[in-house]
Amino acid sequence: MLNLLRAAWGYRHFILISIRADFKNRFIRSRMGGLWCVIHPLSQVLIYALILSRLMAAKIPGIDNRFAYAIYLCAGVAAWGLFVEIVTRSMTIFIDNAHLIKKISFPKITLPLIMVGSALINHGLLLLVTLVVFSVLGHIPGLVLFWLPVLIVVSLSLALGIGLVLGVLNVFLRDVAQVVAIVLQILFWFTPIVYFITIIPEPLRKLMVFSPIYPIVTGYQQVLAYGRAPDLSNLLLVFGFALAILAFAMVLFRKSNADMMDVL
């Protein structure tokens, strides 16, 4: 694993240049450019807010704002968006870049790092616009925003670890991507993003502990919507799990490297 990290560090300039190129290429022919990274999640928030705001508005204690439900939605969607983007892009990253892997000699570990850098730019733009929208709505979280980097690191570690494992498996078994798409849909509705944990029956509420993304989403909601610090005990548990699965992903990647070349 240390060899992989050394290789990535040796190619750090290549990674930075590729992140910039990846971001530009995704929007090079788009008049709106990087704004699409923001428009898509905010349009999702708008749809849910229009449909569910009357149902949910009376059930948000702790947020003193007439747009409380929209604020709550923005926080959850922001957390979910970063996690899903990294998992889904990691899952196909080796297949999508098969032409480069076969033709050019470079550390393949740089590919997920480039993808993570691009995802962070997207997420940063979304958070910036979200905070601007919050200020217009009269909701300013304050200094508690300094907890966001902690939440981002935990989310990145978890998503990258899961994504790399799935990415390696997807090279050998292409059905993985189809199964994961269904699992992510289930996980989205199993996580309190468009609803509140309080509306779930108590026995089902206890099952939330088995969702690793749940503490991250609630952490974003605590910081962005409620203006409070996240629950560090739960975040530490998730971070420990994330580091473990990330280490496993590195080992799996290293051992499968040669076999992936043959399959690709």
Give residue-wise pLDDT tens across range 95-117.
888 877 777 777 778 888 888 99
Long-range (24+ apart) CB contacts under 8 A made by 53-59 are: 56/195, 56/196, 59/196, 59/198, 59/199
pLDDT at position 58, please? 52
The pTM of the full predicted model, rounded to 2 decimals, is 0.86
Say yes or no to pLDDT of 40 above 90. Answer: no
Say yes or no to pLDDT of 41 above 90. Answer: no
Say yes or no to pLDDT of 239 above 90. Answer: yes
Mean pLDDT, the chain, rounded, equals 82
Confidence band for 74, pLDDT divided at 50, 70 and 90? confident
Say yes or no to pLDDT of 86 above 90. Answer: yes
Distance CA 102, CA 172 (A): 16
Q: How many CA atoms lie within 13 A of 129 on its CB side?
A: 18
Say yes or no to pLDDT of 54 above 60. Answer: yes
CA dist list (Å): 38 to 41, 42, 253: 6, 6, 32
227, 194, 187: which is closest to 73 by C-alpha?
194
Q: Which residues, other chains included, contact 179 with Cβ-Cβ below 8 Å and sequence gap of 6+?
A: none
Distance CA 60, CA 19 (A): 39
Q: Residue 198: how many CB atoms within 10 A of its CB?
A: 10
pLDDT (average), residues 210-216? 89
| Residue whose structure tokens are 């498996």 | 169
CA dist list (Å): 221 to 52, 104, 215: 18, 43, 10
Confidence band for 13, pLDDT divided at 50, 70 and 90? confident
Which pLDDT tens digit goes with each residue over 137-195?
888 888 899 999 999 999 999 999 999 999 999 988 888 888 999 999 989 988 888 88
Which sequence spans correspond to the domains of the chain?
Answer: 69-263
Confidence band for 130, pLDDT divided at 50, 70 and 90? confident
pLDDT at position 27, please? 62
pLDDT (average), residues 47-70? 68
Confidence band for 129, pLDDT divided at 50, 70 and 90? confident
Distance CA 264, CA 254 (A): 16
pLDDT at position 56, please? 62
Long-range (24+ apart) CB contacts under 8 A made by 110-115 are: 110/7, 110/8, 110/11, 110/14, 110/15, 110/18, 112/160, 112/163, 112/164, 112/167, 113/8, 113/15, 114/15, 114/18, 114/19, 114/22, 115/22, 115/86, 115/89, 115/90
For the ranges 7-16, 83-92, 193-202, the lowest mean pLDDT is seen at 7-16
166, 157, 89: which is closest to 122 by C-alpha?
89
Say yes or no to pLDDT of 29 above 60. Answer: no
Tokens matching residue 36: 């699409």
Tokens matching residue 182: 């269904």
Q: Which of 17-31, 74-88, 96-110, 199-213 has the highest mean pLDDT?
A: 74-88
Distance CA 63, CA 141 (A): 11
Tokens matching residue 46: 């708008």
Residue count (the chain):
264
pLDDT at position 261, please? 72
- SS3 of residue 92 by DSSP: coil
pLDDT at position 71, please? 86
